[in-house]
């Protein structure tokens, strides 16, 4: 026997393993795990690059319309909801009605973080977190599914002084229409890092100067990259604004009801909370076309190699009042088997067929190789429908 060995069960000699060897085994296991993660990331990157090349090869390009002042060239490719090849036509109460992967040679294109679709479904308006506007006409196929875009426009958002915004001041996140005119009327937009809300008459011009909107001073608490995120008009005179994440050790997200355009314009105003839906964080909010439901779009970041998961909550507007804690019901939850991305904008409308349609747009963070700009359309099945 070697020094330090001992006799085990049945008289067999058992050799002690130095503690350092256990440590070396742990290091090797860690290196193996890291190697697997790097290999997975490289495989994902290669797949995305190949996919991007294929999309580029078969995308439909729509040249800039010469009659539009802010016209840009845009291309789109049909997008499947499945990440792994199998067909997925519904998730939860959402029935897939088509999707597009969008691109443009204009370097400003991307980062879309809010969405308004017109009541008739013909027009959309979006904003980026780098202070740009994007507007386009929506094209459908004979089944009424999302099929393309045309007459695309892109313009720089203006600050109060009429100048283009810096990145810190131009981190636009929430977008809400002020009237049934939707993208062709006035809209409100919220900014995250320099927390505030501005009103733009985008229906007149994408180069419109904004008007400041009075907001509670507490919104400045979230004056960072997890601040004011979702924005919706609860009714004609009541703004609903909500933070992306909890603050000050609170388990919930701060939210506000704000009277607009004057303090006496609405029946109720004050602070409330939206319950955290772990591990998700809020990325947008929008009113349903029936005026009875508020929708909360959420996302979950699964790490640099895991992708994103998306969820949608539905809240009865009767519960939305100062002092309330809003929870709502889950409409759908998209896991990594679905080909979603960083969905940051949502809009809902009612079709002439009486159905409710949901649109989402993604923020690619200007990482055009690793992420995508997706525009997706769903049909919302009524609650309790079998």
Looking at residue 207, which CATH number applies to its domain? 2.120.10
Same domain, yes or no: 142 and 75:
yes
Same domain, yes or no: 29 and 174:
no
Residue 325 DSSP SS3: strand
Higher pLDDT, 341 or 29: 341
| Whether 116 contacts 177, CB under 8 Å | yes
38-66 as b/e: b if 16+ CB within 10 A: eeeeeeeeeebeeebeebeeebeebebbe
> What is the span of the domain harbouring residue 212?
63-380
Same domain, yes or no: 73 and 51:
no
Least confident of 24-28, 338-342, 382-386: 24-28
What predicted TM-score, i.e. pTM, was given to this entire model?
0.84
Would you say residue 134 has pLDDT above 90? Answer: yes
Give, as one character, the DSSP assignment of residue 177.
E
The percentage of the chain sitting over the pLDDT mark of 70, rounded to a whole number, equals 82
Give the pairing type, strands 325-326 and 196-200: unpaired
Would you say residue 170 has pLDDT above 90? Answer: yes
303-359 tens-digit pLDDT: 666 678 999 999 999 999 999 999 999 999 998 889 899 999 999 999 999 999 999
Number of domains in the chain: 2
Same domain, yes or no: 290 and 305:
yes
Same domain, yes or no: 105 and 27:
no
178-203 tens-digit pLDDT: 999 999 999 999 999 889 999 999 99
- DSSP E strands in 228-304: the ranges are 228-235, 238-243, 252-259, 270-275, 281-287, 293-301
CA 89 to chain CA centroid, Å, is 20
Residue 385 lies in a domain: no
Place of tokens 């977008």: 175
Residue 374 lies in a domain: yes
Give, as one character, the DSSP assignment of residue 218.
G
Same domain, yes or no: 27 and 171:
no
Place of tokens 């029946």: 267
Confidence (pLDDT) at 7: 42
Same domain, yes or no: 37 and 169:
no
């Amino acid at each position: 026997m070697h020094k330090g060995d001992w006799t085990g069960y049945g008289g067999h000699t058992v050799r002690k393993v130095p503690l350092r060897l256990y440590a070396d085994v742990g290091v090797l296991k860690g290196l193996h795990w890291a190697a697997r993660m790097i290999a997975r990331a490289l495989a994902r990157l290669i797949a995305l690059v190949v996919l991007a090349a294929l999309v580029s090869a078969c995308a439909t390009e729509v040249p800039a319309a010469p009659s539009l002042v802010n016209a840009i060239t845009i291309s789109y490719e049909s997008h499947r909801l499945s990440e792994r090849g199998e067909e997925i036509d519904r998730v939860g109460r959402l029935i897939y009605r088509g999707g597009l992967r969008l691109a443009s040679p204009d370097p400003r294109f991307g980062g879309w973080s809010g969405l308004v679709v017109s009541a008739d479904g013909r027009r959309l308006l979006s904003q980026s977190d780098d202070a740009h506007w994007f507007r386009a006409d929506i094209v459908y196929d004979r089944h009424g599914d999302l099929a393309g875009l045309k007459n695309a426009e892109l313009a720089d958002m203006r600050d109060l002084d009429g100048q283009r915004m810096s990145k810190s001041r131009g981190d636009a996140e929430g977008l809400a229409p002020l009237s049934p005119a939707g993208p062709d009327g006035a809209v409100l937009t919220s900014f995250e890092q320099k927390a505030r809300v501005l009103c733009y008459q985008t229906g007149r011009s994408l180069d419109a100067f904004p008007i400041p909107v009075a907001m509670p001073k507490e919104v400045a608490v979230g004056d960072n990259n997890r601040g004011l995120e979702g924005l919706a008009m609860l009714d004609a005179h009541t703004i609903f604004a909500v933070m992306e994440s909890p603050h000050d050790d609170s388990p919930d997200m701060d939210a506000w009801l704000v009277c607009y355009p004057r303090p006496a314009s609405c029946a109720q105003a004050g602070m409330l909370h939206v319950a955290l839906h772990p591990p998700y964080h809020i990325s947008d909010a929008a009113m349903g076309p029936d005026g009875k439901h508020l929708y909360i779009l959420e996302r979950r970041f699964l790490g640099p190699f895991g992708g994103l998961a998306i969820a949608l909550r539905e809240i009865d507007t009767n519960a939305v009042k100062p002092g309330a804690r809003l929870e709502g019901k889950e409409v759908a939850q998209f896991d990594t088997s679905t080909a979603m991305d960083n969905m940051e904008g949502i809009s809902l409308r009612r079709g002439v067929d009486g159905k409710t349609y949901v649109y989402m747009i993604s923020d690619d963070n200007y990482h055009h190789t690793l992420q995508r700009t997706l525009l997706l359309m769903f049909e919302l099945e009524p609650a309790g429908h079998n």
